[in-house]
Amino acid sequence: MIKIARDKSLILFDGYCHLCSRSVQLILKYDQKKQFLFSPLSSSTGEQIKKERAIPETIDSIILIEAGDHYTHADAILQIANQLGGIFLLANIAKVLPQSWRNQLYRWVAAKRFQWFGKRTSCMLPNPEDIDRFI
């Protein structure tokens, strides 16, 4: 079983997706506390964690894993934004929408992400200075 330290959160992401990879780069840039770790969904770590947490295979975009819980869809994005703080707290405006609507909007964007942003031919590789943040 893969354990996540209480002061860390793990973001599972689609390493082939340009939108997801750019989101990871943005999080790396603004994560002053270095609280986030990263792993591609398609990696052995990503697959193992999804299995351990009984996360459905149909979820193929960003998943936030914490010591005692996990978040998917819009909830993952909002939780990440809350942990980053600052300007990212504006994402909480989305909470005026019912959760089902937020998740439906999230799934719609996720379904169109390759069409709109493209798909990488290989999984994203971290910069050397960020390599210790990837599992």
Dump pLDDT digits (tens) for 70-109: 999 999 999 999 999 999 999 999 999 999 999 899 888 8
Please indicate, yes or no, if residue 51 is contained in any of the structural domains: yes
Q: Which two tokens stand for residue 20?
A: 């997801």
Q: Domain count for the chain, please give it.
A: 1
**Placement of tokens 């052995």 in the chain:** 44
Which pLDDT score, from 0 to 100, does residue 15 have?
Answer: 79
Please indicate, yes or no, if residue 1 is contained in any of the structural domains: no
Alpha-carbon gap, residue 102 to 42, rounded angstroms: 25
Please indicate, yes or no, if residue 133 is contained in any of the structural domains: no
Please indicate, yes or no, if residue 4 is contained in any of the structural domains: no
Please indicate, yes or no, if residue 135 is contained in any of the structural domains: no
Segment 48-64, tens digit of pLDDT: 999 998 998 888 889 99
Q: What is the pTM of this model?
A: 0.86
Alpha-carbon gap, residue 75 to 5, rounded angstroms: 21
Please indicate, yes or no, if residue 3 is contained in any of the structural domains: no
Please indicate, yes or no, if residue 76 is contained in any of the structural domains: yes
Give 94: exposed, middle or buried? Use CB within 10 Å, 0-12, 13-18, 19+. Answer: middle
Please indicate, yes or no, if residue 131 is contained in any of the structural domains: no
| pLDDT > 70: percent of the chain | 95
**Domain coverage including residue 105:** 9-125
Check pLDDT > 70 for residue 130: yes
